[in-house]
Amino acid sequence: MRTLPQLIGDVARGKEHARDLPEEEARILFAAWLAGDLDAYSQGALWTAYRIKGEAVDELLGFVSASEQAMHRVNAPAGPLPIILPSYNGARREANLLPLLALVLARAGVPVLLHGSHGGAAEDADLALTDHSPAQRVSSAALLAALGLPAAGSPQAIHDDLGRRNLAHAAIDVLSPGLARILALRRRLGVRSSVHTVVKLVNPFAGPAMHCAAVTHPAYLERLQAFFGRTRRRALCLRGTEGEPFAHPKRRPALLACQDGACTTLMEKDGQPLLRLPDLPADGGVAATCRFIEEVLKGRLALPDPLRDQAACLLVLSGRSPNLEAARAILEAALPARGRYPSSPPPLPTSQGALP
């Protein structure tokens, strides 16, 4: 293993001259970072260097491998592959509908783990950064808490929540204190970096899982597909809404499936003109978004078609459904028909005080 100055010298030579690290060196380097073995100067140098250079696939493989080896792992319930929804952006311009997607999937019979940083509008109101500022964003955790679904405080609590209601959410601190500590550097350094990609790719489960990974920039879609192809993991990749892994409710992005080392397009990007706008929250705040989620789950408003398509794809890839037609039938059974007010809609198993 080369010395730390040699490794930094490779990756910090600017966009044109930086060199990518081989997978094993990247794994060792990130493992040392996770363990707290790098001094503050080295952490700042690596953070900024990778923001400029970007990560090669071999480097991502090493970073994710080190992260998973250091994580507290969760045992999934028996049945379909659990779906992982990483939520580290929140939403500011649009309503954050990732919790709605998670609740719909859970009601359709698939265990769902949503993990992320729990900063939201209240926590980050003073953090007005220029690089994808988190200021005034509404986090998935804030929405789920407002809906009566508290965050899990331990890996065992995650397992228990999955068994009880098919849905758990937790801060990354619970799963990986090392990743949480590295993520916290953003408040001091002002820019995003490689760890924001790593948290979209890690599998917190002890066994196989189904990833749902979103990007903002098209070039990263190719990188994600290359990663999932190399690791032969199952994943649905898409252009997210403000970086969150849910399809934009007004226009479905291309939905790309990765499994067994190959990546294919399950659904092409929707290029048709909108005949009518979908029903959406009055604003992107917590109260309006929660009301909208409740109305959809009660059947009084329709689930936007792009999210329905995404949910159907995830049901197929998780093994819950054999094909898209059957997946759509499962979703129809799980959600009351719009305009009906059933006396007893299909319940989402919850703890007392949570959503029906």
pLDDT tens digits, 196-206: 899 999 999 99
pLDDT of residue 219: 81
Each residue of 78-105: pLDDT tens digit? Answer: 999 999 999 998 888 889 999 999 999 9
Radius of gyration of the chain (CA): 20
Each residue of 242-301: pLDDT tens digit? Answer: 889 999 999 999 999 999 999 999 999 988 777 677 889 888 899 999 999 999 999 999
At 289, phi and psi to the nearest 5? Answer: -65, -40
Partners of 241 in the β-ladder: 244
Token pair belonging to 244 = 């969150």
Q: Sketch out the chain's domains with CATH numbers.
A: 4-70 (1.20.970.10), 73-339 (3.40.1030.10)
Average pLDDT over residues 149-172: 96
d(Cα 36, Cα 105) in Å, to the nearest integer?
A: 37
Q: 3-class SS at 215?
A: strand
Residue 5's pLDDT band (boundaries 50, 70, 90)? confident
Query: What separation, in Å, do the N-terminal and C-terminal C-alpha atoms of the chain show?
Result: 55
pTM, full prediction:
0.89
Contact 245, 86 (CB under 8 A): yes
Residue length, the chain? 356
Beta sheet of 262-267, edge-to-edge order = 167-171, 112-116, 83-87, 210-215, 234-239, 255-259, 262-267
SS percent in the chain: helix, strand, coil, step 5 = 40, 10, 45
pLDDT of residue 118: 52
